[in-house]
Amino acid sequence: MVKKYIIGNGSIISTEAVVKDIEPMASCAPYFNICGNQMSLELMSDDIVYGLGETLRGANKRGWKYVSWCSDDPNHEENKNSLYGAHNFILIDGVKKLGFFFDTPSEITFDIGYTDPDKLIISMESLNLDLYIIDGEDSPSVVKEFRGLIGRSYIAPLWSFGYQQSRWSYPTAKDVMEVVDEYKKSKIPLECVYLDIDYMERYKDFTLDATKFPNFKEFVNNLKDDHIHLIPIIDAGVKVEDGYDCYMEGVKNGYFCTDKDGKPFDSAVWPGLVHYPDVLNPAARRWFGNKYKVLIDCGIDGFWNDMNEPSIFYTPDRLTECIDFIASKQGKLDLNLDEYFSLTDKLRELPNSKVDYGRMYHNASGKLINHELVHNLYGYNMTRAAGEAFNELREERTLLFSRASYVGMHRYGGIWTGDNKSWWSHIELIMHQLPNLNMVGFLYSGADLGGFSCDTTEDLLMRFIELGMFTPLMRNHACIGTRRQELYQFKHTDDFRNLINLRYALIPYLYSEYVKACLNDEMLFKPLAFKYSEDKMARSIEDQLLVGESIMIAPIYKQNAIGRYVYLPEPMKMVKFRSNNDYDTMDLEKGHHFINVNLNEVLVFILPNKLLPLAKPSMRVEDMDMYDLTYIKNGNDATYDYYMDDGVSKEPNGSIRTLK
Amino acid sequence: MVKKYIIGNGSIISTEAVVKDIEPMASCAPYFNICGNQMSLELMSDDIVYGLGETLRGANKRGWKYVSWCSDDPNHEENKNSLYGAHNFILIDGVKKLGFFFDTPSEITFDIGYTDPDKLIISMESLNLDLYIIDGEDSPSVVKEFRGLIGRSYIAPLWSFGYQQSRWSYPTAKDVMEVVDEYKKSKIPLECVYLDIDYMERYKDFTLDATKFPNFKEFVNNLKDDHIHLIPIIDAGVKVEDGYDCYMEGVKNGYFCTDKDGKPFDSAVWPGLVHYPDVLNPAARRWFGNKYKVLIDCGIDGFWNDMNEPSIFYTPDRLTECIDFIASKQGKLDLNLDEYFSLTDKLRELPNSKVDYGRMYHNASGKLINHELVHNLYGYNMTRAAGEAFNELREERTLLFSRASYVGMHRYGGIWTGDNKSWWSHIELIMHQLPNLNMVGFLYSGADLGGFSCDTTEDLLMRFIELGMFTPLMRNHACIGTRRQELYQFKHTDDFRNLINLRYALIPYLYSEYVKACLNDEMLFKPLAFKYSEDKMARSIEDQLLVGESIMIAPIYKQNAIGRYVYLPEPMKMVKFRSNNDYDTMDLEKGHHFINVNLNEVLVFILPNKLLPLAKPSMRVEDMDMYDLTYIKNGNDATYDYYMDDGVSKEPNGSIRTLK
């Protein structure tokens, strides 16, 4: 049951996150004590607080303060408050199950037991938002109701479940081919190769550097003949350069964000000075989305949208100010403490500053609106621009995911979890993020496997892969300057090949569960509390996940571990996989188990009376037979409702058959 | 059995880490394959590699690359290679047990399965070092032999086992008194309050800001009457200021490090420009150590030495270069990528640069030697300066610990683990650091409880305290600008009081085990592998520790955890403490257990036939009766060899009595 309440003056503009028309209640919002710019609620000691989608720390968000403010911050440390997304949904799973959606495009803070361990305190500079309150029988039904409210999730093509390799950068066609060839030589399946910013001509969106990629269209199509998809990055900022069509059109038509006087707003990112497309203006959004056509016409069928928080390295005024300030210290040899730190501070405060966001404006439905107030909608609408255009430009599904997001964007694309690090703790983090992302509709998602920044190690990458093999987006991605981490770079290539073969064998199951979750407003990754809500132990577990209806996973995320503890809320069949065709099974009782797990092994637990179908892997998804399946069954009467479709039709045209 | 080998030309100067005269072997070093500037060794798959003292990541160091290079880096993230200490001891615990001490004052790199999972590769720019190889029956005897080689560990006063409160800063006498009064009001025991850099007059060592601390001596002694010890910080750098005695004497006598022309070397830290005392020069070391007298004469009986890596914020030349470079960009509004990042890079490269270290010189035994080659000896010798002086200046033991260190410094003082963060992962980190620190002789040690930088939360602080209550140095310390984290700042003051009372009740046991470990070259904190070397499960555990001869601990380091798994390699008696006089006990079988643990509870496991003595807590250690003990016994015949002394005599004068 959903009820809507207007808090303060309500959301400053419609975020278009919600797709249903709901009449606001005349009464005050229940549960909350509203006072000034805060609304607060008492938490019971056993309440789990889920939600907030892409955030740091545990799956249970209690004990920290989170700020919804889309941020390009590559240091995903425990103490950070914001990441790239703004996903203002909270689910309290206690004696009652309650969902809250705080719908506002502005910054909003969730103090979940930080100030007071027993209080949830929500605050904004001015408390104006649309509040949706959902109660239900259980957590899954609260989520389902919420998901119905915000509309069906984006559905990715089947081929995008293949293994994907990325790096900042494979800057030339030759580099791309080397990756493709090395994977082939190592007999490891590969589906996509990514192009990071260097493929463009001086970082100009929708251009190609012809020296690095001569005959781009031919190159794309040659790869495609081999069922390899090339996925270029699109950045939000459009380079300021006389004669560059995208820039010229944007200026001419007033499609860029402006300063308060209506002049295109100057900021700088990779290309140097850029203007930001005003994606909150429907005309500009349509224009920008259609720009993707130039790449689509070359045969490109997938994109990743980046730097769309939007990220600002600097604005010319504040850069000038900063450099002038530092220059004013010229000739001083004995800086005192404050002076010395002010140098670093000045430069540190340059990027992604609220001062700059506060000077940028949108033309949203004819109304000039300050960017700071609607900041969290930018990435959403950039991706919506692409998604809306693809609906017209392409016959088939397009792979699309974004870094920044707000609820609502899930209808147009997925997300990746941004610039993580080659840290063991970042394997664990994925497990906490996935279910919370699923709650707000982001089903096609995944983390940079192996870790984006910092140097990886072979064992870390292998453990990343062993979790990532369950995520729809399974992409290995790394930063410039880090150790190379393609799977063929390491000593135990055989283990990596076996693991990727296992991923491919799992694709029918994963895709089936994924599409069913999209169509039925459900979650692909569920905390154990969603199924075993009366089991106190199960409720506390954050490092095991239910994946679809048949299985539970328990990844390893500690270096040098010889195994791990696993709790079974009911008897299950354990499968210890080394590859699709090399595994052991064992029936385990309900309760606590320590399971020995080698570095090349993956644990899967099959639920009672469920079965896990496995396909024969191939070097490409397109070459696989999705109906030639073997089953691992837990129980003679085990069944599975298997969904499959053609994998590309925009409106899923498949059907369910019951496997047994 | 210890053997010494000279690798290359041997250590460039004697580090004086080793106190025994050992004739080098004429033969080549066994085990290693030496090639160019590398020496490497094959690792077996079951080998655990302990050692390296204060480093990041696991207790088992396999799977990363570590660099011994004393570094002031406050970001203790998984991917970092260096911390403040240089502790070049490696213990391979496999079929054979082998200890290696790579004695060199220069930078040295330990690639422990980073490049190749099965190889230990040691490298230096030029491979010159003294190598000590120790083999033994088991890991404890290898460590004991090594510890005998490097000399007896510093022994701290008994009162320094009390609870200590610190912050950057309590800048005035009034602030200190507020802390003392609030603890008193909350009836929480408190032993020491720390003075961070702001007590000094413009950050000048051995001065006092008389406006902040009028009548300092009286203030110190008033606190002392109440058994509260005031512990000031001493920084390594001496401010350049005409008329300041420490500066004038140092210049006059040539006691400062110089540039290549013999002019005192200019660098900058908190006070602005400083010179670094040349603590490698025995005369300068003696002079600097004796400067502590001015504070000792005020009644001070404890110090912490900081910034002694040594940390350099900038040197005037390179600051000029940096500012000039940035100023050269004045007027440019459209910086390209490289130009933009070069601004930040220039400033980032300013502090702690090898360029600067390479321009600084020591006068070590009459020989001019470049600082870069002996960098890792600085903190060691600054602390040695103090330790040697205290031997002459004080009748009793002095509390002394340092941030930077090298093996050998353990004879003069302890260490704290530097600027950690209010991160849950940093609770876990302590468990990995303690045994490795103990191996190299650092027994009086501890981490900043609650976390130094970032904002803490009540539950995080409580879990930090629940581990920190077992470390000799039990200090709550936090950075300027962070949330206040004195124990009285939170909601559950009663829980904190109970926990600190428990700490005080444990002091007889902890102090007894600590002094015994000092006197017998043993470890206070041991990995389970040290006792249960044939138990594969026990060998893999990094989050349980043996503390002395009677107990094992299993701290909680996950937010919102309702308990944790514990593995018992043999049957033990579990004690679930809420306070010294409020606990439950339960006899548990060998094997795996999931133990429910509330936020205010501490798990202690008593080994078979051992007993844990508990004292009656008091507001101060001095007020406690160390012989009025109650016992928790595991078995009717349980005994414990209890050591106690007067707690202050420099040469421990106590005796052992067997409790039963």
For A375-409, the pLDDT digits (tens) are 999 999 999 999 999 999 999 999 999 999 999 99
Q: Of all helices (H) and strands (E), which one includes residue B304?
A: strand B302-306
User: Distance from first CA to last CA of chain B, Å, rounded?
Assistant: 36
Nearest to A442 by CA among A475, A470, A405: A405
Nearest to B437 by CA among B18, B35, B86: B86
Partners of residue A316 in chain B, C-beta under 8 Å: 333-334
Q: Examine residue A169 and say whether the peptide bond preceding it is cis (omega within 30 degrees of 0).
A: yes
> Which of A266, A340, A461, A544 to probe by mutation at the B interface, max B CB count within 10 Å?
A340
- Residue A242 class from Cβ within 10 Å (0-12 exposed, 13-18 middle, 19+ buried)? exposed
For B338-366, the pLDDT digits (tens) are 888 999 899 999 999 999 999 999 998 77
Interchain CB contact of B352 with A (< 8 Å): no
Phi, psi of A376 (to 5 degrees): -70, -5
Where on the phi/psi map is residue B36: left (φ > 0), alpha (ψ -120 to 50), or beta?
A: left
Rounded to whole angstroms, the Cα distance separating B615 from B601 reads 19
Rounded to whole angstroms, the Cα distance separating B137 from B304 reads 38
Contact B560 A540 (CB under 8 A): yes
Contact A454 B78 (CB under 8 A): yes
Q: Taking CA A465 as the corner, what is the angle to CA A463 and CA A468, rounded to the nearest 5 degrees? A: 115
Partners of residue A320 in chain B, C-beta under 8 Å: 330-331, 333
Rounded to whole angstroms, the Cα distance separating B133 from B518 reads 22
For B210-221, the pLDDT digits (tens) are 999 999 999 999
Nearest to B420 by CA among B455, B451, B465, B462: B451
Q: What confidence score (pLDDT) does residue A616 get?
A: 98
Q: In chain A, pLDDT over 70 holds for what percent of residues?
A: 100
- Residues B402, B415: contact at Cβ < 8 Å? yes
- Residues A408, A15: contact at Cβ < 8 Å? yes
- Residue A542 class from Cβ within 10 Å (0-12 exposed, 13-18 middle, 19+ buried)? buried
Chain A nearest-CA distance from B22, in A, is 36
Rounded to whole angstroms, the Cα distance separating B537 from A112 reads 37
Interchain CB contact of A252 with B (< 8 Å): no
Q: What confidence score (pLDDT) does residue B333 get?
A: 77
CB crowding B234-258: b at 16 or more within 10 Å, else e: bbbbbbbbeebebbeebbeeebbbb
Q: What confidence score (pLDDT) does residue B50 get?
A: 98
Contact A313 B340 (CB under 8 A): yes
Give the pLDDT band of residue B283 (cuts 50, 70, 90). Answer: very high
Q: What confidence score (pLDDT) does residue B336 get?
A: 83
Interchain CB contact of A454 with B (< 8 Å): yes
Only one residue has tokens 């200019």, namely B266
Q: Is 0.90 exceeded by the ipTM? A: yes
- Residues B416, B313: contact at Cβ < 8 Å? no
Amino acid present at A317 = D
Rounded to whole angstroms, the Cα distance separating A99 from A135 reads 6
Minimal-distance CA residue of chain B relative to A484: B115
Longest dimension (CA), chain B: 83
For chain A positions 78-97, those within 8 Å of chain B (CB to CB) are 78-79
Partners of residue A327 in chain B, C-beta under 8 Å: 323, 326-327, 330
Rounded to whole angstroms, the Cα distance separating A276 from A255 reads 9
Instruction: Measure Cα distances from B114 to A395, B36, B37, B311, B513 in Å.
Output: 47, 19, 17, 28, 36
Gyration radius (Cα) of chain B, Å: 25
Dump strand ranges (E) for B31-170. 33-35, 38-42, 48-51, 64-68, 85-86, 89-93, 97-103, 108-112, 119-123, 129-135, 164-165
For chain B positions 295-324, those within 8 Å of chain A (CB to CB) are 313-314, 316, 319-320, 323-324
Minimal-distance CA residue of chain B relative to A598: B45
| SS3 assignment, position B605 | strand
Q: Of all helices (H) and strands (E), which one includes residue A412?
A: none
Rounded to whole angstroms, the Cα distance separating B71 from B209 reads 29
Record the tokens describing residue B563, joined without a space. 């308990």
Chain B nearest-CA distance from A171, in A, is 16
For B583-637, the pLDDT digits (tens) are 999 999 999 999 999 999 999 999 999 999 999 999 999 999 999 999 999 999 9
Instruction: Measure Cα distances from B69 to A401, B17, B235, B406 in Å.
Output: 42, 16, 19, 10
CB pairs under 8 A between A and B: 172
Chain A nearest-CA distance from B589, in A, is 15
Interchain CB contact of B334 with A (< 8 Å): yes
> How far is residue A70 CA from its own chain's centroid?
13
Contact A117 B562 (CB under 8 A): no
For chain B positions 487-516, those within 8 Å of chain A (CB to CB) are 491
Give the pLDDT band of residue A364 (cuts 50, 70, 90). Answer: confident
Contact A457 B240 (CB under 8 A): no
Chain B nearest-CA distance from A609, in A, is 28
Nearest to A277 by CA among A251, A302, A301: A251
**Residues in Cβ contact with B345 at an 8 Å cutoff, skipping those fewer than 6 apart:** none
Rounded (10°) CA dihedral B579, B584, B589, B595: -70
Rounded to whole angstroms, the Cα distance separating B186 from A615 reads 65
Q: In chain B, pLDDT over 90 holds for what percent of residues?
A: 98
pLDDT greater than 80 at residue A333: no
Of A79, A240, A333, the CB nearest to B454: A79
User: Distance from first CA to last CA of chain A, Å, rounded?
Assistant: 36
Q: What confidence score (pLDDT) does residue A337 get?
A: 82
Of A113, A270, A323, the CB nearest to B326: A323
State the pairing for strand pair B563-568/B591-596. antiparallel
Q: Of all helices (H) and strands (E), which one includes residue B546?
A: strand B545-547
Q: Of all helices (H) and strands (E), which one includes residue A442?
A: none
According to the 3-state scheme, what is the secondary structure of A600-617?
CCEEEEECCCEEEEEECC
Give the pLDDT band of residue B189 (cuts 50, 70, 90). Answer: very high
Phi, psi of B503 (to 5 degrees): -55, -50
For A533-582, the pLDDT digits (tens) are 999 999 999 999 999 999 999 999 999 999 999 999 999 999 999 999 99
Q: What confidence score (pLDDT) does residue A51 get?
A: 98
| SS3 assignment, position B566 | strand
Nearest to B249 by CA among B295, B291, B306: B291
Chain B nearest-CA distance from A351, in A, is 11
pLDDT greater than 90 at residue A304: yes
Amino acid present at B346 = K
Q: What confidence score (pLDDT) does residue B161 get?
A: 98
What's the mean pLDDT in A406-416? 98
